[in-house]
Structure 1
Amino acid sequence: MQDRNNTIAGWVLFAGIIALGSTLVVSEVFHGEEVDSCAEDATDGYCPSYVADATAAAGGAEEVEQPIAFFLASADATRGENVFKKCAACHTVTAGGANKVGPNLYDLMGNPIASKAGFAYSDALTGIGGNWDWDNMSAWLASPRGFAPGNKMTFAGLGDPQDRADLIMYLNAQGSGIAVPPPPAEISPEEAAAEDAAAEGELQPAADSDTADQLTEESVEGTGSEGSQADGASE
């Protein structure tokens, strides 16, 4: 009886091994071709491990963000007022408004960073220097911790550059009114790569020229040495 049970258990184990092997073989047959990336709209959802690992290691392709001036061209202070609701728990923005968890933001744009009277700023922010211009404010709103590591601001930031542009436009309308920068020409990743390649190409001829001069000098020196030996031989 014990032998019979062992036999049955053996066949069950064998069947399981066969099933697992078949699954692996089918997977290799249908996904045998090497791929460079996994499309998000893939029908079967399959992604080879070597592709997934490489993508994770590289962090994926990051889209180059345009300067904030690009988004200011289509910014709207009314939309910015709506975005400001995320800030209203910690800030006032009216003339003479009180400091709360954060300072009053009236007439903020264009003024020195960490300069509102009566508010105790962190050393991390007072040490930044400069003014609240469009670029600094965009960088601050994108990531307060990234802009001034160690500051007291707990807000995670606004990842959408258009939201930042709308909010900054709204803040600028609250007693500041500094000039809005003109929109820059949009640069695609391909154009940026072409400019980098062109810059490297401009440096390359100089290096080639130096190498050519060096080779010329060596050739001249070598010819002169050989020429002297030849003259000595003829004598």
Structure 2
Amino acid sequence: MGLLSALSCLVPGALAPADQLINIIERLFKKTVAQFNFVTYRNGNNGGATMVWSIRRVVTGHDENGRSTVIFDDKNGQVKEMDSMPGLVLTDLWETVSSPADNSGTDDAVNRPVRLEPMTGGSIFRIVEFPPDGDWLDKVDVSTAFDSVAAGGAHDDGSSDPLRHKTDTIDYIVILEGEIDAVLDTETIRLRRGDALVQRGTVHSWSVKGDKPCVLAVTLVSATPAV
């Protein structure tokens, strides 16, 4: 049975304009695993306040009797707006520092300064918000920006693109909101909400051509470089 036929069985008059069908589909399949809103994050280095996404962070662990329990239920984790890149915000939700990961303890794994890459053998789970290019490209100081997330050596200094960089990681990325261009050596590909990207340690950049930010979730895992 086609989608329109299936909807016509569920909803009277489902053979309707496309925007109505989209609303129906969203109501039928909407997931409530996480709810997002905006909060104000202040960073004096960029001279003001930035509106960033806030996400409820729920982390499980074990109590003193070895029973499964929630150890954190809060907003965000560790937030960092990159210096001289207003609106480009990293929100770290969790980190591991070894492989296999150590699931013991109840300390907050991201109670430390935000850095771009995980430790060797580790991983970082984060949310990244990219502002429209026009909001920051004329304000950026590349060295200052990458140094602010302990990644001074990640940027491609031979490029005029301020976001062109490479990390020793494999990154599992899902676009949560908006759209963004992933810029590679041989091509540029547009990613939209719901798209997934496996970024395997290649040199790359990001570009938001529209007038709205792009928000993505990413898990960075330490990896051996291919080249």
TM-score (norm 1): 0.17
If each structure's helix is expressed as a fraction of its own residues, which one has the higher value? Answer: 1
Pick 1 or 2: higher relative contact order, CA cutoff 8 A, min separation 6: 1
TM norm structure 2: 0.17
